[in-house]
Amino acid sequence: MVEIRKDYFTEKISITLPDRGVKPGQVIPQKAEKCNYCAGNEEMTPPADLVLVKRGDTLLKQTDSEGDVVKNWSVRIFPARNPVVVPNAPPSYGDSPHYSEPAVGYHYVLVATPKHDHTFPKIDIEQWTNILASLQDKVRWLYSQKGVSYVLVYVNSEKEGSPTTVHPSIQMVTTPRVPPAVEVEAETVQTSLNDLGVCPMCQVVTTETGGPRQILATDFFLAFAPWVSTHPFEYWIYPKRHMTSILKLSQKEMMDLALMLRSTLGGMAKALDSPSFTMVFHSSSEKKTTKQIHWHIEVYPRRAQWTGLELGGGIYVSDVTPEAAAQVLGASARKELAQLVGIR
Ligand SMILES: [Zn+2]
Ligand SMILES: [Zn+2]
């Protein structure tokens, strides 16, 4: 049964999946020679419906056809082999207190590089720009599909060199409702816009600029460690101008974001010995009736062992203050940036 369940009385939701013969939590390590995301192994994945290929100075968008895959690609996007939502989920409706609905949606994978060991902190700025452009394309297409209320974009990156290291990829999962974490932000932004006429996150960007939690500022973006961090060394990347969606990024802003991502992820990898991390894109839903947020990226290095305080109380304990984290990450990110843009 692929279904979405909603909690008895809160907005918490879960997705339950059918048994796929993989024990929950079991990690399947990928070796480069057997990795289905690696260049040369294209036949091991479903045909890609968006393949970005560089020919000379031009970028071409192509599509695999059955038995004829595009080679020498830069980015590939195809349906996930083990999706968490499916277009044809069987009907499964239940009423409160056992509310359920079918987990209808699309789950796509963007392979960020043909090279297995080319981790996110190492991907160059040009490739990052290609990734962001492809992502924008696919997210736009997903929002045009029936029943899609939200497209959640995220990265899970395992510690470099660990047996569970996987080929760099970005997941895109659509949901028939806006995820609770985004909904909470949207409610807050909407209330503030209605009552005070200002976006609270625009105010946060102003407050954090040049302050003790700033990590890096580029032309169009600000990276900072949030005042309340749920993970040690967590950081956020916000567009400086009020922008509701990743779909609104111009080419110039995309190139600047590529520089920001490469500098901060590269900086984090050097400062923290290439930690495992999760990166989430919080963007507004494109559905007309939904509330908007100030879109941004959240990065959580996964170092913390959560206890009852976090799991049971929603209180996050950290042995690193956001101010100290910003100092460490900032120094390292600024060094990366200087090297990237050729200063010194
Ligand atoms: Zn690979
Ligand atoms: Zn704003």
Left, alpha or beta for 273 (phi > 0: left; psi -120 to 50: alpha)? left
CATH 3.30.428.10 correct for 3-340: yes
H or E segment and range at residue 287? none
| Whether 283 contacts 247, CB under 8 Å | yes
Mean pLDDT of 266-294: 93
Long-range contacts formed by 14-19: CB under 8 A, 24+ apart: 15/84, 15/85, 15/103, 16/103, 17/84
Residues of the chain with pLDDT > 90: what percent?
Answer: 78
Residue 254 CA, ligand 2 centroid: distance in Å: 18
Mean pLDDT of 165-184: 93
Helix intervals (H) in 209-289: 251-271
pLDDT of residue 344: 46
Mean pLDDT of 29-51: 84
SS3 21: coil
pLDDT of residue 166: 82
Residue 115, CA distances (Å) to 35, 119, 163 in order: 10, 9, 17
Q: Check pLDDT > 70 for residue 174.
A: yes
Distance CA 279, CA 156 (A): 7
pLDDT of residue 305: 85
Q: Check pLDDT > 90 for residue 22.
A: no
Residue 290 CA, ligand 2 centroid: distance in Å: 16
pLDDT per residue as tens digits for the range 42-71: 999 999 999 999 988 899 999 998 888 999
Distance CA 117, CA 248 (A): 31
Ligand nearest to the CA of 119: 1
User: What is the pTM assigned to this prediction?
Assistant: 0.94
Alpha-carbon torsion (294, 300, 304, 306), positive or negative: positive
Residue 297 CA, ligand 2 centroid: distance in Å: 14
Distance CA 94, CA 101 (A): 7
Mean pLDDT of 238-258: 97
Instruction: Find tokens 């490739």 and name the residue.
Output: 127
Task: Please report, to the nearest 10 degrees, the dihedral formed by the alpha carbons of residues 82, 84, 89, 93 taken in order.
Answer: 150
Q: Check pLDDT > 80 for residue 343.
A: no
Distance CA 174, CA 195 (A): 31
Amino acid sitting at position 70: V
Q: Check pLDDT > 60 for residue 41.
A: yes
Alpha-carbon torsion (322, 324, 327, 330), positive or negative: negative
Distance CA 119, CA 182 (A): 27
Bigger pLDDT: 219 vs 31: 219
pLDDT per residue as tens digits for the range 123-173: 999 999 999 999 999 999 999 999 999 999 999 998 877 666 689 999 999
Are β-strands 235-239 and 296-301 bridged in parallel, bridged antiparallel, or unpaired? Answer: antiparallel
Residue 33 CA, ligand 1 centroid: distance in Å: 7
Residue 31 CA, ligand 1 centroid: distance in Å: 7
Residue 138 CA, ligand 1 centroid: distance in Å: 22
Which residue, among 128, 133, 146, 83, has the nearest Cα to 109 in the 3D structure?
83
